[in-house]
Chain A
Amino acid sequence: MKAMTALPQMFHDWFAAQGWQVHPHQQAMADRAGAPATLLIAPTGGGKTMAGFLPTLAELATDPRPRLHTLYVSPLKALAADIRRNLTRPVQELGLPIRIEDRTGDTPASRKRRQRADPPHILLTTPESLALLLSYEDAPRVFAGLQRVVVDEIHALAESKRGDQLMLALARLQTLAPGLRRVGLSATVEDPQAIARLLARHPDPCEILQADPGPAPDIAMLETEELPPWSGGGAGHAIPAVLREIRRHRTTLIFHNTRAQAEIFFHKLWQANDDGLPIAIHHGSLDRERRERVEAAMLRGELRAIVCTGTLDLGLDWGDVDLIIQVGAPKNVKRLVQRIGRANHRYNAPSKALLVPANRFEVVECVAALEAVRANALDGEPRGPGPLDVLCQHILIAACSGPFDADALYREVITAGPYADLPRTDFDACLDFCATGGYALRAYDRWQRLQRRADGRWQLRDPRAVQRIRMNIGTIQDSDRLKVRMRRNRGGKPLGEVEEYFAASLTPGDTFLIGGQVVRYESLREMTVEVTRDPGRKPRIATFMGTKFATSTQLSERILDLLAQPDWPQLPRHTAEWLALQREMSRLPERGRLLIESFPHERREHLCVYGFAGRNAQQTLGLLLTKRLEEIGAAPLGFVATDYATLIWGLEAVTDPAPLFELTALRAGLDGWLAGNAVMKRTFRSAATIAGLIERNLPGNRKTGRQATFSSDILYDTLQKYDPGHLMLRITREEAMRGLVDFGRIEDMLARVGGRIDLVRTGRVTPFAAPLFLEVGKVPVAGAAEERLLAEEASRLMAAAGLHDAP
Chain B
Amino acid sequence: MKGHDFTLAGARLTALGSGALWWSEHRLLCVSDLHLGKSERIARRGGATLPPYDTRDTLNRLAVDLARTEARIVVCLGDSFDDLDAAEALPEEERLWIARLQAGRRWVWIEGNHDPGPLDLGGTHLAELPLAPLTFRHIARPGAAGEISGHYHPKATIRARGRAITRPAFLVDRDRVILPAYGTYTGGLHSHDAALAELMRPEAVAILTGPRPQPVPMPR
Contact = CB atoms under 8 A, between A and B. Distances in A.
B51 A707 contact: no
A320 B118 CA distance: 72
Given A706-B189, A707-B189, A805-B5, A464 B46 contact: yes
B165 interface: yes
Interface string B11-47: 0000000000000000000000000000110011111
A638 interface: yes
Contact of A722 (B45, B57, B181): B57
Given A707-B188, A806-B6, A807-B172, A722 B216 contact: no
B157 interface: yes
Given A464-B45, A794-B214, A715 B50 contact: yes
B160 A447 contact: no
Given A449-B43, A504-B164, A786-B165, A718 B158 contact: no
Interface string B168-208: 00001110000001001111111011100000010111001
A803 B51 contact: no
Contacts of B158: 790, 793-794, 797
Contacts of A711: 187
A74 B201 CA distance: 55
B153 interface: yes
B215 interface: yes
Contact of A447 (B40, B53, B181, B193): B40
B47 A468 contact: yes
Contacts of B166: 504
B56 interface: yes
Interface in B128-175: 152-153, 157-161, 163-166, 172-174
Contact of A805 (B192, B204, B215): B215
Contacts of B185: 710, 714
A787 interface: yes
A14 interface: no
Interface string A783-807: 0001101111110011001010111
B215 A718 contact: no
A723 B187 contact: no
A240 B184 CA distance: 56
B179 to A, nearest CB: 12
A695 B205 CA distance: 34
Contacts of A723: 51, 53
Nearest to A465: B46
B48 interface: yes
Given A787-B211, A803-B217, A507 B159 contact: yes
B49 interface: yes
B187 A524 contact: no
Given A638-B163, A807-B203, A443 B57 contact: no
Contacts of B6: 805-807
Given A524-B190, A706-B190, A787-B210, A722 B215 contact: no
A110 interface: no
A326 B184 CA distance: 48
Given A722-B53, A805-B4, A705 B189 contact: yes
Contacts of B174: 807
Interface in A575-624: 603-604
Contact of A439 (B51, B187, B211, B215): B51
Given A710-B187, A794-B216, A801-B217, A722 B157 contact: no
Given A787-B211, A790-B165, A718 B43 contact: no
Select the residue from A465, A695, A708, A807 with max chain B CB neighbours within 10 A: A807
Contacts of A718: 51, 53-54, 57, 184
Contacts of A637: 161, 163
Interface in A699-757: 705-711, 714-715, 718-719, 721-723, 726
B102 to A, nearest CB: 23
A780 interface: yes
A806 B56 CA distance: 34
A787 B167 CA distance: 12
A437 B174 CA distance: 46
Contact of A789 (B5, B54, B161, B184): B161
A463 B208 CA distance: 42
A693 interface: yes
B64 to A, nearest CB: 14
Contacts of A447: 40, 43-44, 49
B52 to A, nearest CB: 3
B124 interface: no
Contacts of B106: none
B212 interface: yes
Contacts of B215: 794, 798, 803, 805
Contacts of A464: 45-46
A707 B139 CA distance: 14
A627 B149 CA distance: 39
A338 interface: no
Given A439-B52, A443-B52, A468-B46, A707 B164 contact: no
B7 interface: yes
B181 A707 contact: yes
A692 B187 contact: no
A130 to B, nearest CB: 23
Interface string A464-485: 1100100000000000000000
B159 A505 contact: yes
B217 A798 contact: yes
A370 B163 CA distance: 39
Contacts of B164: 501, 504-505
Contacts of B54: 718
A791 B211 CA distance: 11
Nearest to B194: A525
A807 B49 CA distance: 44
A441 B194 CA distance: 41
Nearest to B49: A437
Given A714-B185, A807-B204, A722 B5 contact: no
B68 to A, nearest CB: 20
B49 to A, nearest CB: 3
Contacts of B157: 504
A523 interface: yes
Nearest to A719: B51
Nearest to A637: B163
A693 B50 contact: yes
A69 to B, nearest CB: 37
A806 B211 CA distance: 20
Contacts of B203: 803, 807
A790 to B, nearest CB: 5
Given A437-B52, A638-B163, A797-B158, 10 more contacts: A437-B43, A449-B46, A504-B157, A708-B187, A710-B187, A718-B53, A723-B51, A790-B165, A806-B7, A807-B6
18 contacts: A439-B49, A439-B53, A444-B52, A449-B48, A462-B46, A504-B164, A507-B159, A706-B188, A706-B193, A707-B188, A710-B185, A722-B56, A786-B165, A787-B210, A793-B160, A801-B217, A803-B217, A807-B6
Interface of B: 4-7, 39-40, 43-54, 56-57, 91, 152-153, 157-161, 163-166, 172-174, 181, 184-190, 192-194, 201, 203-205, 208, 210-212, 214-217
Instruction: Give 10 nearest A-B pairs by CB, closest first.
Output: A437-B49, A443-B52, A462-B46, A793-B160, A710-B187, A707-B153, A464-B46, A447-B43, A794-B214, A722-B53
